[in-house]
Amino acid sequence: MSLVGIWVILIPLICGLAAFAVGGRSSRVIGLIGAGLTFLLSGLLVLHVWQSGVWIYQLGGWDVPLGISLRADGLSAFLIGMTGAVGLGISLYAVRYFEALTPGPSQDPSAALRTGSGRGEESGAGDSPEAERGGTEVWLPGASYWPLWMLLWASLNVLFLSNDIFNLYVGLELLTLASVALIILQREQAAIVAGLRYLLAAFLGSMAYLLGVALIYADAGVLDLGLLADAELTGTATQVAGGLMAVGLLLKAALFPLHFWLPAAHSSAPAPVSAALSALVVKGAFYLLIRLWFEVFESAGTVSVEQMIGGLGAVAIVVGSFQAIRQERLKLMIAYSTVAQVGYLFIMIPLAGSFGDPEASWRFEAWTGGLYHALSHGFAKASMFLAAGVLLSALGHDRVWHLAGSASRFPVIYLSFGIAGMSLMGLPPSAGFVGKWLMLRSAVESGQWWWVVILLVGGLLTAGYVAIVLSQALQHDVDEHTEPHPVPKLMTVMVFALAAMSLLLGLRAAEPLELLEIGAPFQTLMSVVED
C-alpha cells in the first residue's frame, strides 16, 4: 500500500510503452487497461494519504540531498485524484472518438470527425503519403494517441509527486512534449501552427524555470523542496531565481497576458486532447507555482507583487470572458473560458499571501478555495470540450450561431453543458460554488473587498457565454438541414458523467477539503469545512 505512489507513475508508463510497442488498433486496449489501472491506483493513493498522512519515498535508497525524494501530501493526492477521475472519463470517450477516425474500407475518415478548424481543411489520415508506403503498417491517429496520452498522464503524476526542483523540470518537459505531440495528432495546418507556437512558449517557460533552478542550486547547494523550505533563502540570486521560475510557470499556466498561445492550441487539438490540456495540463504548471510560492519562497513574496499577480488574474477573468463571448466557434469559446478561469486560480495568491495577519485563517480558506476551483474547473471544462467534440463530430462544425435548435437532438449534451457552466459560474450547489465561496469569504475576512467585486463580476460574465450557447441550442427553428452523424453513446455518457462530477463535488465537499489539510503549508486550526 505504501508503494502505490510508485505504481501510479509506473503503470501509465508501462502501459504507454506497451501501446507504443504494439502500435495499430490494439493499442487502445492497452490504453484502456492503463487508464483503468491508473484510475484505481490514483484512488488508492488518495486513500493512503487520507489514512496515513504525508507519504515520502527516497528513490534508489539514496537520502536527500544526494538522491531524489517523492512526496505526497493532501495537495498532491487531491490533484492526482482529480487527474485520475478526469483521465478515466477522457479515456473512455477517446476510445469511441478515435474509433470513428480509423479509416474504414469505404468511408472517408476525415468527413466523420473534424478537430476544430471547421473550415473544411484537409484532415485525417487521408493526406498522409506515408500511409500508402511501407506496406506493413498504416499510420493511425488513435495508435499514437494512446501511448502519448498515457505518457502525459504519467508525467502529471510525476509532477504532482516530485519533491525535487530539478526533477520537476524534467516532469514539465515530459508534459510539454506529450502535449505538443497530441495537439498535432491530426496534422491539420491550424493545429500544427498552434502546436509549434505552444512548443516555443512552453520551452521559453521551461528555460526560465531551469535558469531559476540553476541559480538556486548554486546558492543553496540542494534541490530538495523540503530542504529548500528550511533553508530560509534570502540572497539576490534566490530572488532572481524566484522571479524567473514564477514568470516561466505563469507562461505555462497561461496567466494573462502570457495566455496568447492557449486559445489556438487548446481549440485546434482533437476533443479528448483539448479536454486534457485545459482540465489537467494547465493545472500542472499552476500546481508547481503554488507549491514553490507558498512553501519555498514563502518569505520572498511581498504584498505588492501578490496584488499584481491577483490583478493579472482579474484582467484575465474580464478579458478572457469577453473574448469567449465574442467567439463564433464553440471550441474557441471554451478555450477562452479557460483563460478566464485560470484568472480565478491566481486570485488565490494575494488572498493567501502576506496581506495582513500572518496567522489568520483566511489564508487557508483562499488556498483551499483556489484549489477547489481548480478541481471543479477540471471536471467542468473536460465535460465542455468533450461536449464540443460530440457536436463537432455530429454536425461537422462548431459554429455557435449555427447550433440553433440542436438541443432537441442532443438533450444530454446541452444538459451537461449547462451543469458544467453552472460550476464555472460558481452557482450553488456546484463544486465551483464551494471554491468561489471560500475565496469570497477569505476576501471579506481579510478586508480585500476588491477581489469580491471581481469574483462576482466574473460569475456574471461566465453566465454570458454559457447563456449564448444554451439560448441558441434551445431555439425552436432548426438551422440544420442535414441529418447529423450518429455519435456513439459512450461519448455522450462521459460528457454527462464529468459534468455530474462537477456538481456532486459541490454537494460533498467536506472530505476533499479535509484531504487538503494534510501537510498544508498553512495554519488550519480553524476548520473551514463547516459549510
Partner 1 sequence: MENRDPIPDSGPIVRVLSIILGVALFGILATAVLDLDVEATGLTDTVMERIGESGVDHPPTAVLLNFRAYDTWLEVAVLLLAAWGALVLRQATRLPEQPAARSPGPVLDWLVRMLIPLAIVTGVYLLWRGTDAPGGAFQAGAVIGAALLLLRLSGYRSIGLFSAAWLRGSLLAGFAGFMAIATLLFITGWTFLEYPPAWAGLIIVIVELLITWSVAVSFVALFVAARPDDSATEPVGGER
Q: Interface with partner 1 by CB under 8 A: which residues?
A: 3, 6, 10, 13-14, 17, 20-21, 23, 57-62, 65-68, 125, 128-131, 133-134, 136-139, 144, 147-148, 151, 158, 166-167, 170-171, 173-174, 177-178, 180-181, 184-185, 187, 189-190, 192-193, 211, 215, 217-219, 221-222, 235-237, 239-241, 243
Closest separation in Å from C-beta 243 to partner 1: 8
Closest separation in Å from C-beta 131 to partner 1: 7
Beta-carbon contacts of 478 under 8 Å, excluding residues fewer than 6 positions away, are 404, 405, 406, 408
Of 302 and 523, CB closest to partner 1: 302
Of 252 and 373, CB closest to partner 1: 252
Q: Give the burial string for 366-403 (b: 16+ CB within 10 Å, else e).
A: bbbbbbbbbbbbbbbbbbbbbbbbbbbbbbbbbebebb
Contact 194, 221 (CB under 8 A): no
Of 252 and 377, CB closest to partner 1: 252
Residue 268 has a CB neighbour count (10 Å cut-off) of 27
Of 227 and 470, CB closest to partner 1: 227
Orientation angle between helical segments 510-517 and 27-52, nearest 10 degrees: 70
Contact 466, 417 (CB under 8 A): yes
Of 104 and 235, CB closest to partner 1: 235
Of 186 and 337, CB closest to partner 1: 186
Closest separation in Å from C-beta 239 to partner 1: 8
Closest separation in Å from C-beta 187 to partner 1: 5
Closest separation in Å from C-beta 315 to partner 1: 20
Q: Give the burial string for 222-259 (b: 16+ CB within 10 Å, else e).
A: bbbbbbbbebebeeeebeebbbbbbbbbbbbbbbbebb
Of 192 and 470, CB closest to partner 1: 192
Closest separation in Å from C-beta 117 to partner 1: 10
Closest separation in Å from C-beta 272 to partner 1: 15
CA 115 to chain centre: 19
Contact 156, 175 (CB under 8 A): yes
The three three-digit cell numbers of residue 263, written as one number:
486559445
Of 129 and 358, CB closest to partner 1: 129
Closest separation in Å from C-beta 270 to partner 1: 12
Cis peptide before 429 (omega within 30 of 0): yes
Beta-carbon contacts of 104 under 8 Å, excluding residues fewer than 6 positions away, are none
Would you give the DSSP letter of residue 186? G
CA 101 to chain centre: 25
Residue 82 has a CB neighbour count (10 Å cut-off) of 28
Of 154 and 468, CB closest to partner 1: 154
How far apart, in whole angstroms, are the C-alpha atoms of residue 264 and residue 115?
12
Closest separation in Å from C-beta 37 to partner 1: 14
Of 332 and 387, CB closest to partner 1: 332
Closest separation in Å from C-beta 29 to partner 1: 17
Residue with the three cell numbers 503554488: 290
Q: Phi first, then psi: give them for residue 399, nearest 5 degrees.
A: -75, 120
CA 386 to chain centre: 14
Would you give the DSSP letter of residue 162? B
Closest separation in Å from C-beta 289 to partner 1: 20
Of 76 and 341, CB closest to partner 1: 76
Contact 378, 82 (CB under 8 A): yes
